[in-house]
Amino acid sequence: MQDAPYTFEVPGPHFVPSHYDNHLERRLSALKGQFADAAAVEAMLAQGDPLLYEVYDFERPHVPGELLHGISIVHPGKVGAEYNMTKGHYHQVLETSEVYYCLKGQGFMVMETPEGEWAVEELHPGRVLYVLPRWAHRTVNTSPNEDVITLFIYPGHSGHDYGTIEQQGFRKLVLEENGVPVIVDNPRWQSPAQRANA
Ligand code: F6R
Ligand code: ZN
């Protein structure tokens, strides 16, 4: 971990940081239950386990006052009709936010709150997205053959809650229909009231 102010470069076209502490790779098997088309997932896994996205980040203490930061790279592709995407999560400390700056590609950030509000914002190079406290977030790559690359920054004490999204997914899915992205309801999703009565 650095103990003096530091800089790093993110040179195009690949935007891999000039140095970093951690490199995470997430493959389809880690998102198995998240894609709507289970048969398409199984068919793809029978042929291998494709790399869906990568994260490069810097080691900083997980405490208030620090800002965790890095580069997220979602590769292009689809599972059935659904575009490649990240697992997505709430922050464990719900009242923490995140800034994303898109460096490359076309895609969406799919977001929702525990109360069932939802929002989908387009990502394209040069666009900054502020994810408010309480909003779960997932990056989706709708580019035909380009990575979606973002710089992210969030508070050191945020933590991650993946379990809530793993259980029911996001309220909205991004699918390809007739060659264009469409936002549709996730049949697996339940409202807070439905969940309470389940
Ligand atoms: C951190 C954050 C991003 C994501 C990254 C991978 O809070 O939102 O750095 O961690 O885009 O996505 P997940 O974490 O959902 O696998
Ligand atoms: Zn986050």
* Ligand 1 site-directed mutation target among 22, 72, 97, 158, most atoms within 8 Å of CB: 72
pLDDT digits (tens, 9 = 90+) for 51-82: 999 999 999 999 999 999 999 999 999 999 99
* Ligand 1 site-directed mutation target among 84, 86, 102, most atoms within 8 Å of CB: 86
- DSSP-derived 3-state class of residue 40: helix
pLDDT digits (tens, 9 = 90+) for 131-182: 999 999 999 999 999 999 999 999 999 999 999 999 989 999 999 999 999 9
Nearest-angstrom CA–CA distance, 121 and 45: 30
- For the segment 15-34, the average pLDDT, to the nearest whole number, is 97
Q: Using 50, 70 and 90 to split pLDDT, how confident is the model at 43? A: very high
Domain annotation for the chain: domains and CATH numbers: 22-197 (2.60.120.10)
How does DSSP assign 145-169, residue by residue? Answer: S--EEEEEEEETT--EE-HHHHHH-
The Cα-based distances of 92 to 42, 97, 130, 193 in angstroms read 31, 11, 18, 22
Phi, psi values for residue 46, rounded to 5°: -65, -20
Q: Answer whether residue 198 shows pLDDT above 80.
A: no
